[in-house]
């Protein structure tokens, strides 16, 4: 089962997700796209870590997304 949340930060949209990978562990996922044309979604690698809930995995994805935007966006 996958849980997804969409966040907006400045003029970027962050699609953060958490997917169950093993018993009690979740892997974060992150797709970023700029909210201006042309918008090209980018899938950003997020360190897997030891996330025991969907909320902590989504928080990790969000934090990685904001960091990526600050460094490369």
Look at the domain 2-72 and name its fold. Nuclear Transport Factor 2; Chain: A, (3.10.450)
Q: Which residues of the chain form beta strands (DSSP E)?
A: 2-9, 12-22, 25-34, 42-44
Q: pLDDT tens digits, residue range 21-68?
A: 988 899 999 999 998 887 889 999 998 888 999 999 999 999 999 999
Tokens of 42: 């980018």
pTM: 0.89
Question: Is 17 within 8 Å of 58 (Cβ atoms)?
Answer: yes
């Amino acid at each position: 089962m996958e849980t997804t949340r969409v966040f907006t930060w400045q003029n970027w949209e962050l699609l953060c997700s958490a997917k169950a990978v093993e018993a009690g562990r979740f892997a974060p996922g992150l797709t970023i796209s700029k909210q201006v044309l042309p918008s090209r979604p980018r899938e950003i690698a997020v360190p897997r870590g030891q996330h025991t809930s969907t909320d902590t995995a989504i928080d990790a994805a969000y934090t990685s997304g904001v960091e990526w935007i600050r460094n490369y966006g």
